[in-house]
Amino acid sequence: MAGAFPEARHVFEEADDALGFAVSRICFEGPEDRLRLTEITQPALLATSIACERVLRARGVEPRWVAGHSLGEYSALVSAGGLTFVDALRLVHGRGRYMQEAVPVGAGAMAAVLGLSAASVESLCAEEGRGEVLSAANFNSPEQIVIAGTAAAVARAVAAAPARGARRAIPLAVSAPFH
């Protein structure tokens, strides 16, 4: 996208300057394990969202309203003019760093559980936690609930979920459990 649209290229250049490292290079070239670190993932996602938004605006597509969930709230604030892109980048980079520092890479995990009720997911977490941290972390919809906790507890829950009636339980490619 950045190669095809000057507005997108400018967003990534602005991000690189604001952060003091080439988040653009990590986005486009990797390595993937570095991109998965939440302190990198968060500014990378924000930059990508704002690049898309600026490409659309340059072509006359103006939003009537904006909204965001979790990290998306920062994109929405930038899009609405409530926060500068540079300030948002610095905030989400710090946010991601603090989240990453809270749990060492590999110690925690997250998974999306599809097709179980909230009560069933909470029961699954209580039973598969076995004294470790494991809980519902994000209620995306009545049909999709994200769980987070220690890597071992999340793995047990993912393995046990189908027997409880889940359509699927999908481990998420994140470096730390959050939400």
For residues 154 and 135, membership in a common domain is answered with yes
Q: What is the pTM of this model?
A: 0.82
Q: What is the pLDDT of residue 69?
A: 87
Q: What is the pLDDT of residue 149?
A: 95
Q: How many domains does the chain have?
A: 2
- CATH code at position 142: 3.30.70.250
**Tokens encoding 145:** 């609930």
- Residue 70 a catalytic site member: yes
| Domain membership of residue 165 as a residue range | 108-171
Instruction: Let me know if residue 60 belongs to a domain.
Output: yes
- Over the stretch 1-59, which tens digit does the pLDDT of each residue have? 677 899 999 999 999 999 999 999 999 999 998 998 889 999 999 999 999 999 999 99
- The active-site residue out of 70, 75, 79, 135 is 70
For residues 27 and 79, membership in a common domain is answered with yes
pLDDT for residue 176 is more than 90:
no
Tell me the average pLDDT across 52-68: 95
- Which among 144, 123, 143 has a CA at the least distance from the CA of 134? 123
- The active-site residue out of 10, 117, 175, 179 is 179
Which domain-ending residue is among 77, 102, 127? 102
Instruction: Let me know if residue 1 belongs to a domain.
Output: no
- Over the stretch 99-113, which tens digit does the pLDDT of each residue have? 888 888 889 999 999
Tell me the average pLDDT across 129-134: 96
For residues 36 and 96, membership in a common domain is answered with yes
Instruction: Let me know if residue 28 belongs to a domain.
Output: yes
Burial class (CB in 10 A: 0-12, 13-18, 19+), 145: buried
For residues 116 and 62, membership in a common domain is answered with no
Q: What is the pLDDT of residue 2?
A: 74
- Which among 21, 85, 22 has a CA at the least distance from the CA of 49? 85
For residues 135 and 166, membership in a common domain is answered with yes
For residues 38 and 98, membership in a common domain is answered with yes
- Over the stretch 145-172, which tens digit does the pLDDT of each residue have? 999 999 999 999 999 999 999 999 999 9
For residues 19 and 93, membership in a common domain is answered with yes
Which domain-ending residue is among 51, 85, 102? 102
Q: What is the pLDDT of residue 139?
A: 94
pLDDT for residue 179 is more than 80:
no
- CATH code at position 90: 3.40.366.10
pLDDT for residue 60 is more than 90:
yes
